[in-house]
Amino acid sequence: MTAAEHPVAPDRETLARRLCARYEGIVDDSEALVQSLLRPLPTTVWANPRRLSRDDLLEVLRADGIAATPMAWSRQGVRLDPDARPGRHWGFMAGLFQVQEEVSMLPVALLEPQPGERVLDLCAAPGNKTAQIAMAMANRGTVMANDLRKGRLAALRQTVKRLGLMNVAITAQDGQSIGARAGQFDRVLVDAPCSCEGTFRKVRVPTISTAAFRSRLAAVQVRLLERAMRLTRPGGRLVYSTCTLAPEENEAVIDTLLDRYPGELRVVPANVPGLQATPGITEWEGRRYDPAVADTLRVWPHHNDTGGFFVAVLERSADATRVEEPRWFTPPEEPRSWLEPLTERFGIPWAAFDGAVPVKRGNKHLHLAPVDHRYPEAPAPEMLGLPAVRRRSLPVKPTTAAAMLYGPEATRNVITLETAQTRRYLERHPVHGLSTEQLAACTSAGYVVLRYRGYTLGLGQLIFDRDTGTAHVESLMPKAWLRDGAALMTPEEG
């Protein structure tokens, strides 16, 4: 084959212009849209409100030379430079913040989950929106995080642990087939699989979807949304979102639901103060949509220097069919004495565990879940609650997740690390050079809570060398967290 016979892939600008040409009739400035798609996407994070405020996070990042500015519309959101690498920052490992694309934060802001509710994230992987939901619910109630592919849930498992989320139950089911045995939910999020046109700025090799592909996706999106509607309690809220610009996957999907279920769903006007957005379109390629579709929300990349996004907020009629409550999963009775590795070793008061119920999940770990957690007997969860202690270890080992969640309450066997020591700990190297002052709160060799700059960093194992009379700490930083942090060298989708 000659060089002339080899197909040449279009460059990014050519692809951007092809994509934008399709939407010239519905976007205010097609050339501005093209230029925005060719610029790097800002990196964005949100502060973990259970560990620090956004102002504190801004101070932490700036102290380490990372330029950071607060988002205009989000109380926890922070913008960084496009070349920022927050996944390698110690604050990420310490669960002080989560990396998430800015527009991807919108659905949960509009879902408005409340403490104590039952909330379903139907297409949860990679899990950033699940984490947002669980945080908004103050670690109470029930968040059922589901995704079709079990492998895609691995990152969510680690996010649950790193951020200290007790109220999440993870399932791996086809979202189209979750039935009445799951019960009904106060709020349901469907962040649907889509053609991902809005992620053009962050993918290395962008592609343009075909009409046939969009049509197949739309059929799946409608089925997911129908199932989500049935799982939403009467009067409950349902949020549908995609990261695509295609009306076939956005307004057309909402129009289909409104047409099939007249009177059962109401479009709630989607409005986010501080964010520039446009109303949903009501006509596309000769098809007219229900006028209520104008109350959905479109985000174009050039308006806010973001990716592209679509969100619709729906409310189910109070007269809709109410499903009888299922049998709730009742965890086996577990004595609180299992938590002694946290209370006795670290001096964490028993009162710190008020509101948490010990849950036995297999023979490996004891988990903690909120007292108001209402999980159904089916579908069976892959993970429920927060792993707190490893039962198989002798002595019983506290998990890094539990040490981080309850570490601020620890009064003994706590070591505050210096900057160089922290770097070694995060790289899973032994930490040497511990001073007498650093060891002052330690009673003996064994597990220790590690802190840095006033924040709980993780768990280590203190070892005394009798021959040299020195001590060092073996790093117990989870390998998976380092892997996840490395994967965030560019903004994470979801």
Going by the annotation, the residues of the binding site are 123-129, 147, 174, 191
Residue type, 165: L
Helix (H) or strand (E) holding 228: helix 211-231
Identify the active-site residue in 20, 194, 196, 243: 243
Rounded to 5, what percent of the chain is helix, strand, coil? 35, 25, 45
What single-letter DSSP state applies at residue 345?
A: H
First to last CA, the chain: 41
Angstrom distances, CA of residue 87 to CA of 32, 82, 453, 484? 31, 13, 18, 7
Query: What token pair was written down for 376?
Result: 């159904």
- Non-local (6+) Cβ contacts of 65 within 8 A are none
| Cβ atoms of residues 310 and 296 within 8 Å | yes
Q: How far is Cα of residue 306 from the mean position of the Cα atoms in its chain?
A: 18
Q: Which candidate, 256, 258, 283, 253, places its Cα nearest to that of 268? A: 258
Q: Judging by beta carbons within 10 Å of its beta carbon (0-12, 13-18, 19+), is residue 246 exposed, middle or buried?
A: buried
| Cβ atoms of residues 8 and 63 within 8 Å | no
| Cβ atoms of residues 422 and 473 within 8 Å | no
Q: What is residue 328's three-state secondary structure?
A: strand
Look at strands 232-242 and 265-268 and give their pairing.
Answer: unpaired
| Cβ atoms of residues 107 and 129 within 8 Å | yes
| Cβ atoms of residues 492 and 46 within 8 Å | no
Query: What token pair was written down for 428?
Result: 């899973």
Residue type, 260: R
Phi, psi of 278, rounded to the nearest 5 degrees: -120, 155
Q: How far is Cα of residue 214 from the mean position of the Cα atoms in its chain?
A: 26
| Binding region for S-adenosyl-L-methionine | 123-129, 147, 174, 191
Q: Judging by beta carbons within 10 Å of its beta carbon (0-12, 13-18, 19+), is residue 98 exposed, middle or buried?
A: buried
What burial letters (b/e) apply to 258-293, b meaning 16+ CB within 10 Å? beeeeebbebbebebeebebeebbbebeeeebbebb
Q: What is residue 249's three-state secondary structure?
A: helix
* Axis-axis angle for helices 154-163, 479-487 (nearest 10): 110
Task: Note if 243 is an active site residue.
Answer: yes
Alpha-helical segments (H) within 71-208: 90-93, 106-111, 128-136, 154-163
The C-alpha atoms of residue 187 and residue 313 are separated, in whole angstroms, by: 11
Q: What is residue 365's three-state secondary structure?
A: strand
Alpha-helical segments (H) within 188-274: 211-231, 251-260
Enumerate the active-site residues. Answer: 243
